[in-house]
């Protein structure tokens, strides 16, 4: 193939050549997208409006919901448009933007989950100093550091990826996925990106070890709590977070530890959907399922909405 040094667009992968299946894919992704948007918006709005939830744990959860909103919005609408309009094109700068924002939001998400593990550790293992350690200023600084680190990481990752010369513009994935883009490279610069990927894995592994060690300390402390009610209360604040971390990590590891294949397959697409779309869609349900405070806030929010709707009808 000839070098495409003046490339203006990439071709993303279609889910199917059959028009009926393309329409089916559109509606499936539409349901997933609306579910993720509505779920995360409800969580974010309930936390923002209920002053009882203005605590560090829910402040972090609010930020997580915002990140999840961004993640699905970066990937899903374009894929839906491909199936609906039967047009595979994404502009070069559109692909750059997709890679940048996906990395930014994904890295921020993972960094925030690591911070949330620290928050649960302080709350359970050092409760007398919780308000002193996890005060408002500290929480804002931790989230700001997570965003700044993720921004620098996204700039580095995106810049190195698109510094490559591409020999083809056909991306074998439904979004601009970095490993698929690197397969299109016809320059040796991709080795630098491989080095960045190794660095990324090392950082992710370090965060994972931190979370594991943190939860070992938490479970050790919970075992020493004398009352059964106290144990259940402590675990109820940890299990949703641990479940979200597990879903994010296992779906990502499951997708990226598979033996590489030259040609794209249905499994590649399925794994990409699982690790990129399913976690932000499930997170609102995971956090609201066993959390009575979130449930109460959501019922209040829905009650206010129904009341305002009734009043508007009367007027």
The pLDDT tens digits of the residues spanning 97-123 come to 999 999 999 899 999 999 999 999 999
What is the CA 154 to chain-centroid distance, rounded?
A: 14
Is residue 181 domain-resident? yes
- The per-residue pLDDT for range 150-177, each reduced to its tens digit, is 999 999 889 888 888 888 888 888 889 8
Is residue 176 domain-resident? yes
- The per-residue pLDDT for range 51-78, each reduced to its tens digit, is 888 889 899 999 999 999 999 999 999 9
Is residue 1 domain-resident? no
- The per-residue pLDDT for range 24-40, each reduced to its tens digit, is 989 999 999 999 999 99
Is residue 130 domain-resident? yes
pLDDT cut 90: percent of the chain above it: 29
> Given this model, what pLDDT does residue 257 score?
58
Question: Residue 5 pLDDT more than 70?
Answer: no
> Given this model, what pLDDT does residue 305 score?
55
Is residue 2 domain-resident? no
Contacts of 308 (CB under 8 A, 6+ apart): none
Asked if residue 77 lies in contact with residue 33, where contact means CB atoms within 8 angstroms, the answer is: yes
Q: Quote the CA–CA distance of 41 and 207 in Å, as a whole number.
A: 27
CATH code, 108: 1.20.1070.10
Residue with the larger pLDDT of the pair 56 and 232? 56
- The per-residue pLDDT for range 253-264, each reduced to its tens digit, is 665 555 555 545
Range of the domain at 139: 9-314
Q: How many domains does the chain have?
A: 1
pLDDT-derived band at 205, boundaries 50, 70, 90: confident
Is residue 220 domain-resident? yes
pTM of the model: 0.85
Place of tokens 């050549």: 17
If one counts every other C-beta atom within 10 angstroms of the C-beta of residue 269, the result is 18
Is residue 3 domain-resident? no
pLDDT-derived band at 283, boundaries 50, 70, 90: confident
């Amino acid at each position: 193939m000839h070098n495409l040094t003046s490339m203006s667009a990439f071709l993303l992968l279609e889910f199917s050549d059959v028009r009926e299946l393309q329409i089916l894919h559109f509606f499936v992704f539409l349901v997933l997208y609306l579910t993720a948007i509505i779920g995360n918006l409800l969580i974010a709005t309930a936390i923002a409006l209920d002053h009882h939830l203005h605590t560090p744990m829910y402040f972090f959860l609010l930020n997580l919901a915002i990140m999840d909103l961004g993640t699905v919005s970066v990937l899903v609408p374009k894929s839906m448009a491909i199936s609906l309009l039967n047009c595979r094109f994404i502009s070069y700068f559109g692909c750059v933007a997709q890679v940048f924002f996906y990395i930014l939001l994904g890295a921020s998400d993972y960094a925030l989950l690591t911070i949330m593990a620290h928050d649960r550790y302080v709350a359970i293992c050092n409760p007398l100093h919780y308000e002193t350690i996890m005060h408002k200023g500290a929480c804002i600084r931790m989230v700001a550091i997570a965003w700044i680190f993720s921004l620098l990481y996204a700039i580095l990752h995106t810049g190195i990826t698109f510094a490559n010369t591409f020999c083809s513009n056909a991306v074998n994935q439904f979004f601009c996925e970095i490993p698929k883009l690197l397969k299109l490279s016809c320059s040796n610069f991709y080795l630098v990106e491989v080095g960045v990927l190794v660095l990324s894995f090392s950082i992710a592994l370090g965060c994972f070890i931190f979370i594991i060690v943190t939860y070992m300390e938490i479970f050790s402390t919970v075992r020493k709590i004398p009352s059964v009610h106290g144990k259940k209360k402590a675990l109820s604040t940890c299990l949703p977070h641990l479940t979200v971390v597990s879903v994010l990590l296992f779906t990502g590891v499951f997708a990226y530890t598979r033996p590489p294949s030259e040609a794209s397959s249905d499994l590649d697409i399925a794994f990409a959907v699982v690790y990129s779309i399913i976690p932000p869609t499930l997170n609102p349900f995971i956090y609201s399922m066993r959390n009575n405070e979130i449930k109460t806030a959501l019922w209040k929010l829905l009650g206010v909405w129904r009341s305002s709707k009734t009043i508007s009808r009367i007027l």
